[in-house]
A and B are shown apart, each in its own frame.
Chain A
Amino acid sequence: MKKESAVYTILFMVVLSLVLSSVLGFVSSFTKERIEVNLTAIRAKAILEAVGMNVDEMDLREIEKTFREKIQIDEFDGRRVYLTSVDGRRIYAFEYTGSGLWGLILAVIALDESFERLAGISFVRHSETPGLGGRIDENWFKKQFSRKKLASSYPYLTFATNVAKPGNYDPEDPTVDAITGATGTSKAVERLVNEAIKQWKPILMDRYGR
């Protein structure tokens, strides 16, 4: 068979594709379990963090264990709520996807039993610029939302832009400090948090309300 003939070319490609894809299939099945464990753990970590637990020191295994022990999952109408109590208060956490500056942000937002106060928020996935918008992952930023009182109507939470010192940790003041140099991301997260609360607050109150 000639090397440049059509039959040889097709045969060559078919054999090559078969070989390469079967090796890939093997590698993929070999790593699949681990990848799934990692993804679940990254999600579990964000949920634990949002409800107000300290996860900085935990490794993935501890996170999984704590998640299994402490968090109950309630599913209804295609929604999923993560329930737990921290210091005797019921906490309701949910996942919310909104757009960031560059791509989608998957956030976990937790409200406490009064529905007027956040327990905290955290981010599972985002594609903001590392070092600028990506700083939403940093503790100083996330800690601001801890036990934060919300305003009674929309917007529940405002982001302050003209402040010198970063971090507004007063839980009674419904304002957090935005990130310097990342106005786009700050605005996007502000919108995301407010939209999420607007959409979920009535649902949670309806189901778990006073």
Chain B
Amino acid sequence: MNEKVGNVFKRTIFFENPVIIQILGICSTLAVTNKLLNTLIMCIGLTMTTSLSSLSVSLMRKMIPRKVRMIVEVFSIAFYVIIFDLFLKAYLPEISVALGPYVGLIITNCIVMGRTEAYALANSPMMSFLDGLGSGLGYSLILLIVATIREILGFGSLFGFRIFGENFVSWTIMVMPASAFFVLAVILWIFKAMMIKKR
């Protein structure tokens, strides 16, 4: 299977976008998208983890015994997540506190394991890395859109800077995780409509 590089990105970011097409990673989509800054850090963490764990699993793919392949995948995923978590705690302590347990939960994010299992085990390291990177970016694209909408309406701000005046009444529902369902559904609808037209 030799895919073109451009096609990997088109596939992972649009036609097989992990969040809106495969509907994976919904838990974190609901949980960390009420402030743009937290979302951005979360996306960086996930993109780094998917790309690097896909790369390492692919590098080892000829040595991994079949019956322990999933353990090995989780191992390498956990490895990168712990490193990311340590760096956050050391260099961005306030964001680390705000993200709380969600960084650690990247380990259980279906997107990461899905990519290693479905792609990295059967493809070259370079392509697996790009596939992981693209999936991470696809995830980030949707999360950042959701977070932008939720922060504007829920707090009247963007990256913590107020963009509406004092009289703006913030939409409390937008701060709660459930609102991400509504936002996500609308985004899904728009993207699907766009894709059907393209095909």
- A binding-site residues for B, Cβ under 8 Å: 3-4, 8-9, 12-13, 16-17, 20, 23-24, 27-28, 31, 34-35, 38-39, 41-42, 125, 127, 129-132, 181
Contact = CB atoms under 8 A, between A and B. Distances in A.
A20 B65 contact: no
Contact of B72 (A4, A16, A130, A132): A16
B66 A4 contact: yes
Contacts of A13: 68, 71-72
A125 B97 CA distance: 8
Interface of B: 34-35, 38, 63-68, 71-72, 75-76, 79, 82-83, 86-87, 89-91, 93, 97-98, 100, 154-155, 170, 172, 175-176
Given A12-B68, A20-B76, 20 more contacts: A8-B65, A9-B68, A12-B64, A12-B65, A20-B75, A20-B79, A27-B86, A31-B86, A34-B90, A35-B86, A35-B89, A38-B89, A38-B93, A42-B93, A127-B100, A130-B35, A130-B38, A130-B98, A132-B175, A181-B175
Contacts, number: 67
A42 B92 CA distance: 12
Contacts of A4: 65-67
A9 B100 contact: no
Contacts of A127: 100
A4 to B, nearest CB: 6
A131 B72 contact: no
A17 B154 contact: no
A12 B63 contact: yes
A3 B63 contact: yes
A3 B93 contact: no
A17 B75 contact: yes
Contact of B79 (A3, A23, A125, A129): A23
Nearest to A15: B63
B157 to A, nearest CB: 10
A185 to B, nearest CB: 13
A3 B155 CA distance: 56
Contacts of A12: 63-65, 68
